[in-house]
Structure 1
Amino acid sequence: MTERQVQISLGAGAILASLFLLLWAIPQWVSSPSNVQKLILSPLFWPYALAGFTGLTGLGLLFGGLGSDDDGEPVNEPSDNPAAAWMRLAGMAAIMALTMFLMPRLGMVLTSMLVFVASAFLVRTRHPVTAVVCAVLIPLILYAFFAHVAGVAIPQGNVLRLP
């Protein structure tokens, strides 16, 4: 598949997933009490927000793919070594097992950072600096929101205690 085809396919898939979530899955499976004080703490807020962001991302991919000039080159050449795919799968299974082992010891924030970096380098990201920056910032921002704004306790580890 060319880059244009990949973007159009991913965009259409994201839009369909968003519509499924917005129109059927969230109303069907997520319930919310009527006496929720803050909208942001409602059990419906984040599923709808994530479904909306998924739809916007899909639209961006779709329009980006439709507006791009494509030279017809495939995005990824097929691998000559099929064992490499099995090694990546085993690596991802090891990362998942280590996540379960490290979570109670290091806490959710530090473990998330390490798992993000390990997964990014396992799949050989083309943007390693961006992956490391996101691996550090996203868990910290999420911790700050949930711990200090929403008042939700985030599991802390034995190594690092965040304020």
Structure 2
Amino acid sequence: MSQKSLHLRLGITVSLLAVFLVFYAIPTFVFSPSNVGNIILSPLFWPYVLAGFTGIVGLSLLANALSSGDDTPFEDVETEHPEGSAPWIRLGALMVIMVAVMLLLPRLGMVWTCMLAFAACAFMFRTRHPYMAIVCAVIVPLLLYAFFAHVAGVAIPQGNFVRLP
């Protein structure tokens, strides 16, 4: 498969996905109250923005495929990943972290679960700055909680064991 045919196939698929999102999925499955005064606060705003960006990417891939004259194949002879099965193990570990987040959210609350998930991901991806990762894993969720709970007035889910003020 050449890069031109890959971009053409991806461009058509992504453009059709954007059309599906804009004309069927978002109007059907995203509910919005009719009295929202500011469009940015509407639940429809960000799905339409993402669908628009998806359409732009699809059209860009189509334009690249149609304007490119290069039809040489880009596939390598070497198909084995140089790290072996390590990427698949990391992907499985990330899946375990995601399931753990979903199971821990009702029990520990959003802030504490995010701290644990951030730290677990940082160490799974072998960060070069482990102390900074721990500091960020603690401080970023606490600052976000403080902003949303006390400044924006949004209720953040609390756990069964420890409640934040």
The TM tier, using the shorter chain, reads: 0.5 to 0.7
Which residue matches 2:44? 44
Q: CA deviation at 1:99?
A: 4.0
Q: What residue number does 2:163 align with?
A: none
Q: How does 1:46-125 map to 2 (within 5 A)?
A: 46-77=46-77, 79=79, 88-101=87-100, 105=112, 107=114, 111=118, 114=121, 118=125
Q: Over residues 30-64 of structure 1, what are the superposed CA-to-partner deviations in whole Å (9 max), with x where a residue is unaligned?
A: 11101113211111111111111100110011101
Task: Map Cα deviations across residues 93-128 of structure 1 (whole Å, 9 max, x no partner).
Answer: 2112124547874727x839x47x94xx9xxxxxxx
State the SS of the aligned residue for 2:93. Answer: helix
Q: Compute the displacement of 1:78 (Å).
A: 6.1
Partner of 2:134: none
Residue 33 (structure 1) aligned with residue 33 (structure 2): yes
Alpha-carbon distance change, 33 to 77 in structure 1, aligned in 2, over 3 angstroms = farther
Where does structure 2 lack aligned partners over 5 or more consecutive residues? 106-111, 127-139, 158-165
Q: Residue 61 of structure 1: SS of its match in structure 2?
A: helix
Q: Secondary structure at the match of 1:107?
A: helix
Distance 1:90 1:32 in 2: 40
Higher alpha-carbon Rg: 2
Percent identity among equivalent residues?
Answer: 39
- CA distance in structure 2 between the aligned counterparts of 1:11 and 1:154, rounded to whole angstroms: 39
C-alpha distance in 2, partners of 1:72/1:11? 18
Query: Are residues 151 and 56 of structure 1, via their aligned partners in 2, closer, same or farther at CA, if it must alter by over 3 Å?
Result: farther
Q: Distance in 2 between matches of 1:19 and 1:151?
A: 36
Identify if the C-alpha distance between structure 1 residues 39 and 80 changes in structure 2 by more than 3 Å, giving closer, same or farther: closer
For 1:73, give the aligned amino acid: P
Query: Does the CA contact (< 8 Å) of 1:99 and 1:111 recur in 2?
Result: no
CA distance in 2, matches of 1:151, 1:73: 55
Q: With structure 2 as the length reference, what TM-score do the two structures score?
A: 0.58
Query: In angstroms, what is the RMSD of aligned CA positions?
Result: 4.2
Structure 1: 5+ residue runs without aligned partners? 122-139, 156-163
